[in-house]
Structure 1
Amino acid sequence: MSILSDIRLIRRPLAGFAAIGICWGVFAGCVPAIKAQVGLTDGGLGTAMLVSTCGAILAMWLAPWAEERLKALAIPLFTGLLGLGFLMPGIAGSWGQFAAAMLFCAAAAGTVDVAMNAQLSQLEARSGRPLMNLAHGGYSLIYACAALAAGIARGGGLPLWSIFLGATCLTLVAAVVARGGEVVLPEETTEQTGRAPLPWGIVALAGVVICIGFMAEQATEAWSALHLERNLGAGAVGGALAPTLLGLTMGAGRLSGQGLIRRLNGAGVLGAGAGLAALGSVTAALAPTAVVGWIGFAVLGFGVSVLAPMAYAWLGARLTPQARARAISRATVIGYTGFFMGPPMMGGLSEVFGLRASFGAVALLLLLVPLVLLPMMLRR
């Protein structure tokens, strides 16, 4: 089966990945402008993102309930809500407005994320194809393009609201695309869904690996442009190039994993990826020039690219079809804690110690994967 056949097979969840990539890519490319428009300090931005975490985690916990009732409509409906909500950060004029906007967007994105990963895991298990890396790689490439486009638009003098309006339009197109493609519903299984006890040991292990990967990814997405512009003298386009390179190397790493995952030792790749990401984070933290900073973020992206998709695949391979959707949901809740805790952590550390120290802390977190979590996974 070719990669084009795989894309057709996962068209529905892939549209959800594309929508989230568009939104977070545009956000990453516009963080310095948002801070200026709303008048946020580093700590204020971090606190606003912490507020959004609460909505995201609650939404993800309830996502299986919503998916069970909405069935095939879940991904397109919540993708559409994400697109409509994404108008708000671009017009926010105060901390409260920005925090409320991010709360809504994070809740919608979290629900989409649970639904699309659960659907993808079911399709991967049924087809026997390594689809996780393909979908996550597609997200990264779309994110990179969106971040670069946002930086170019901002450098060209376009108002912030117009950039976010463009992202909304593209996200609504993705919502329409998500209505097509193959869907595997829980009702298609032969046993009652979601009633057997979950194997919380492996769910928690996978969730923590995903959490660290997402924390490193989102912390870099939200703060790398600011680091380049504030500390290394890059302009709007140069700042946006940092999350762009992150997305490009993440996409390259994940798409490479699409073909290599069957021939390589998965545990070794996971440990090496985390170590490489830690090296990239330290390089970016200590960078004396923008060029070295770009190199550091590119290395970080390539290393961190394997963490989430391989943890999802490791978990999905150890579950029955009846438990898979609920277990993926719970692991995603744990993982997304990192996705939304990354920016607040960076904001708090930056407020006290500076952005360079914040990226050093990201490196320490990444080293927990090969030193602590991977040995525990191997024992399972």
Structure 2
Amino acid sequence: MVSATWGLFWGAWGGLIPAVQQRAGVSTGTLGLLLSLVAVGAIPAMVLTGRLARGRESVALAVSTGLFGVAIAALATASAPVPLGACLIAVGMTSGALDVCLSMAIARAERTTGARLFQPVHAAFPVMVVVAAPLAGLARQSGVPLLAILLVVAVLVAAAGVPAALGLTSGASPDTPAAGSGRRLPLAGIGLGALGACMLIMENAVEQWSAVLLENHQGALPVVASSAPAVYYLALSLGRLAAHAMPGMRLRTILGLGAAGGGVGIVLAALASHPAAGLGAFALTGFAFGPVIPALLSHAATRDGDGAAVATATTVSYAGFVGSPLVVAGLSTVLPLPSAVACLGVLAAPLLIAAFAGSFPDTPGGNPTQTEQEHHRKATGS
């Protein structure tokens, strides 16, 4: 539920940005700078939250979700550049905190119950993004005020935190601080997060440039071009659900298929000469990449008992998403946009190397074995 409402806001937000720009009275350049403040708020909040939420994941998830709703409500009232910037920082901080808390809560549930949760929970986010964006546009077109739309979303987001507060979201046992938490650098999380960052650099590029590629370089009509991000996100969800439906799939297999399918897919999508081929390649990319991040986080959940590795992996991965525009911008200074995006396919190489050379346990999807679960219960007393 938290993941779905989180996606509800970000999907709706994409459809509301033109109205936000109009109300704040800012230029496109100024709006771009203001939107970058989301990342400015998110990164430090994710680092801090990863330390504070250990051992109290359900409470932290409930609090971060509620604060995210409050930040959205404040954003609904911002009608000038300075208040808008402050609200976007708050949205970034609370969204980043929610991201970390959600991953840590799912990780605790997987460790203590043995259930496979990362893939289906993460599948809800992209589906809601796809659904919410056109609904927000339709609401605007029907004359619903921007304030009303954002306040409704804020209420729905805040309400999603209630089950977490009652301990129902994850189905995990009562929170118990793990022994030795905070005493070591979560190097495993950094390594897994770096793999995730490679993938999210490519994912952000698809989100930002897929429509431009189809319309300006493949001759697609605007309505077809604008569907490219939706096709990618729907395929992303289907890939996660497919991986969840195959509990015997190994982490090595997920990484290998993700690297091969996603890496080849993004190159084909960028260099396609026809819109249909481009859309098909973006779908392949999303389907292949979909299970990767959830599988990496699930694997991180088995590395320790306090969530440090999961929090670190989530934060490092997000840094790749934030840095993606700079990577594409740098490549675009020396290459045409299609070639610049196609070059990102090389970032699939670390995933492929990890699939063949990584020291991953031979367990399905990175999930803990029964022995690992029992060891965790004895170590934490849960």
Inter-CA distance 228–146: structure 2 relative to 1 (3 Å threshold): farther
Matched, 1:328 2:298: no
Q: 1:212 aligns with which of 198, 214, 232?
A: 198
Q: How does 1:30-69 map to 2 (within 5 A)?
A: 38-41=26-29, 45=32, 48-67=34-53
Query: 1:250: how far off?
Result: 1.0
Match of 1:313 in 2: 298
Q: Is the CA contact 2:252–2:360 (under 8 Å) kept in the aligned structure 1?
A: no
Q: Deviations over 1:67-122 (max 9, x none)?
A: 25976432122212223323566777777665544322221111111111111111
Q: 2:88 aligns with which of 85, 102, 118?
A: 102
What TM-score does the superposition give when structure 2 sets the normalisation length?
Answer: 0.78
| SS in structure 1 at match of 2:70 | helix
Q: Is the CA contact 1:79–1:174 (under 8 Å) kept in the aligned structure 2?
A: yes
Matched, 1:269 2:254: yes
Match of 1:76 in 2: 62
Match of 2:176 in 1: 187
Q: Bigger relative contact order, structure 1 or 2, given CA contacts below 8 A and separation 6+?
A: 1
Unmatched tracts of structure 2, length 5 or more: 362-382
Higher helix share: 1
> How far apart, in 2, do the equivalents of 1:151 and 1:225 lie?
17
Match of 2:349 in 1: 367
Amino acid aligned to 1:256:
A
> How far apart, in 1, do the equivalents of 2:225 and 2:83 lie?
25
| SS in structure 2 at match of 1:197 | coil
Unmatched tracts of structure 1, length 5 or more: 1-14
Match of 2:102 in 1: 116
Match of 1:8 in 2: none
Inter-CA distance 226–273: structure 2 relative to 1 (3 Å threshold): same
Matched, 1:250 2:236: yes
Q: Is the CA contact 1:151–1:239 (under 8 Å) kept in the aligned structure 2?
A: no
Inter-CA distance 55–282: structure 2 relative to 1 (3 Å threshold): same
Match of 1:301 in 2: 286
Match of 2:365 in 1: none
Deviates more, 1:174-183 or 1:103-112: 174-183
Amino acid aligned to 1:305:
G
Matched, 1:285 2:231: no
What TM-score does the superposition give when structure 1 sets the normalisation length?
Answer: 0.78
Query: 1:196: how far off?
Result: 4.0
Q: Is the CA contact 1:140–1:251 (under 8 Å) kept in the aligned structure 2?
A: yes
| SS in structure 2 at match of 1:178 | helix
How many residue pairs were aligned? 355
> How far apart, in 2, do the equivalents of 1:129 and 1:90 lie?
38
Q: Deviations over 1:41-90 (max 9, x none)?
A: 5x973x55544323211101110343259764321222122233235667
Query: 1:208: how far off?
Result: 0.7
Inter-CA distance 71–377: structure 2 relative to 1 (3 Å threshold): closer
Matched, 1:377 2:365: no
Q: Deviations over 1:8-44 (max 9, x none)?
A: xxxxxxx331232112222344567767874325x97
Q: 1:337 aligns with which of 319, 322, 326?
A: 319
Structure number with larger C-alpha Rg: 2
Q: Is the CA contact 2:255–2:292 (under 8 Å) kept in the aligned structure 1?
A: yes
Identity across aligned pairs (percent)? 25
Inter-CA distance 333–185: structure 2 relative to 1 (3 Å threshold): farther
Inter-CA distance 83–64: structure 2 relative to 1 (3 Å threshold): same
> How far apart, in 1, do the equivalents of 2:67 and 2:226 lie?
26
Amino acid aligned to 1:248:
L
> How far apart, in 2, do the equivalents of 1:244 and 1:152 lie?
16
Query: 1:240: how far off?
Result: 4.7
Match of 1:11 in 2: none
Query: 1:164: how far off?
Result: 3.9
Matched, 1:26 2:7: no
Query: 1:309: how far off?
Result: 0.9
Deviates more, 1:21-30 or 1:155-164: 155-164
Amino acid aligned to 1:194:
S
Inter-CA distance 316–56: structure 2 relative to 1 (3 Å threshold): same
Tell me how large the CA RMSD over aligned residues is.
3.5
Deviates more, 1:275-284 or 1:69-78: 69-78
Query: 1:144: how far off?
Result: 2.3
Inter-CA distance 279–332: structure 2 relative to 1 (3 Å threshold): same
Amino acid aligned to 1:81:
L
Amino acid aligned to 1:134:
P
> How far apart, in 2, do the equivalents of 1:120 and 1:154 lie?
35
Q: Is the CA contact 1:19–1:79 (under 8 Å) kept in the aligned structure 2?
A: no
